[in-house]
């Protein structure tokens, strides 16, 4: 469940207190974790992947797939949960994805790779998300 917007930090210093140093680097400074290092790369557990910064629901586990890219991959997000921003850093033209609720960096989205029927891959840092397992 997403936290109330009024409880979200309003400054980067407040975010720094709320997040671990690695989470802050990825979520608030658009960093990335090393490939194959994230806790959710190979996870098959059913549930909902939420934003680690604010708790907003982002990706149902049914949209997760094995892309063999080194990061968790999803072929879709909950409508309106993720926003896309042009990213021209590192000499590349990519599309950054951020949490629509708190503007935290999630990763990048790639299209046209033909990995799924939706032809989309949200390449997400494990440090940007938190799995809320489906309970029976």
How many whole angstroms separate alpha carbon 21 and alpha carbon 59? 24
Which residues lie across from 133 on neighbouring strands? 47
Respond yes or no: is residue 123 known to be catalytic: yes
Catalytic residue among 54, 99, 102, 123: 123
Cα dihedral across residues 37, 41, 44, 46: positive or negative: positive
Q: Which of 73, 69, 44 is nearest to 59 (CA)?
A: 73
Place of tokens 């980067």: 12
Cα dihedral across residues 35, 37, 43, 46: positive or negative: negative
Catalytically annotated residues: 123
């Amino acid at each position: 469940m997403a936290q109330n917007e009024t409880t979200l930090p309003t400054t980067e210093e407040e975010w720094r207190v709320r997040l671990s140093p690695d989470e802050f680097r990825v979520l608030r400074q658009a960093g990335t974790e090393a490939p194959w290092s994230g806790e959710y790369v190979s996870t098959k557990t059913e549930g909902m992947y939420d934003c680690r910064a604010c708790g907003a629901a982002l990706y149902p586990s049914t949209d997760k797939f094995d892309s063999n890219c080194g990061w968790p991959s999803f072929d879709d997000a909950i409508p309106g949960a993720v926003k896309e921003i042009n990213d021209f850093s590192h000499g590349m033209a990519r599309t950054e994805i951020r949490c629509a609720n708190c503007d935290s960096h999630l990763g990048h989205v790639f299209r046209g790779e033909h990995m799924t029927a939706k032809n989309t891959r949200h390449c997400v840092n494990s440090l940007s998300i938190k799995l809320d397992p489906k309970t029976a």
